[in-house]
Amino acid sequence: DAEITQSPRHKITETGRQVTLACHQTWNHNNMFWYRQDLGHGLRLIHYSYGVQDTNKGEVSDGYSVSRSNTEDLPLTLESAASSQTSVYFCATQYLGGGELFFGEGSRLTVL
Amino acid sequence: GEDVEQSLFLSVREGDSSVINCTYTDSSSTYLYWYKQEPGAGLQLLTYIFSNMDMKQDQRLTVLLNKKDKHLSLRIADTQTGDSAIYFCAESSNDYKLSFGAGTTVTVRA
């Protein structure tokens, strides 16, 4: 079965460190998204990609970056982690023509 | 996001119907979705409705869309303990991105 794998599932880091959250999908979907989930805010879009070498900023992109070198992976990098980036991060994929999102299980990040 | 709003909590007795409401602002929305999130898990699609429809029924789920008022609702008939979860309303327009509400935590009591 096709799936979306996020790693690590849980991570604790310190302020100022660089952190990379991995997202790997076997759906062969062109579109990939990163969201963060915070209480009272729901899911907010960080970055998204419509294909290889394509990346776009979402509504809360400051302090985050992504790169898309192949169809399967969209790693999310926090250049210098801040306590405000403590959150649960979800990767999602979508068919080329839009429609429903398929979600990974999430990565819980704590920045101390 | 701010473009999609829903109430944060709903408590319902087992066997009763649950109704979760959502409002959105984007008049160009093409699809509207309901997702379910169980503890420690990702979101799973429950159902969706195309913007030119006003109702969709799928077993215990009924979705109503009032496009004029930009109001979407999800009714769960005969609510069970397994329905306890967070329910997210989401909308998408032509750019394929989905905007989500803050989520409604549904608690089913015996």
pLDDT tens string A17-48: 999 999 999 999 999 999 999 988 889 999 99
Which of A35, A59, A100 is closest, CB to CB, to B33? A100
Please give, rounded to a whole number of angstroms, the shortest distance from the CA of A40 to a CA of chain B. Answer: 6
Whole-angstrom distance, CA of residue B42 vs CA of residue A35: 11
Best of B96, B99, B105 to disrupt the A interface (most A CBs within 10 Å) is B96
Torsion of CA B102, A103, B66, B14, to 10 degrees: -70
> How is chain B split among helix, strand and coil, in percent rounded to 5?
5, 55, 40
B68 Cβ partners below 8 Å, 6+ apart? none
**Strand (E) or helix (H) holding B12:** strand B9-13
Give the residue ranges of DSSP H helices in chain A. none
Which of A101, A103, A107, A108 to probe the B interface (max B CBs under 10 A)?
A101
Interval A93-108: pLDDT, tens: 998 888 899 999 999 9
Q: Does A103 sit within 8 Å of B42, measured CB to CB? A: yes
What's the confidence (pLDDT) of residue B30? Answer: 86
- Per-residue model confidence (pLDDT) at position B45: 95
* Interface touch B97/A90, C-beta < 8 Å: no
Chain B: nearest CA to A94, how far in angstroms? 9
C-beta atoms of A103 and B88 within 8 A:
no
> Tokens 């579109």 sit at which residue?
A31
**pLDDT digit string (tens) for A55-81?**
999 999 999 999 999 999 999 999 999
Average pLDDT estimate for A3-26: 97
What are A66's two structure tokens? Answer: 């992504």
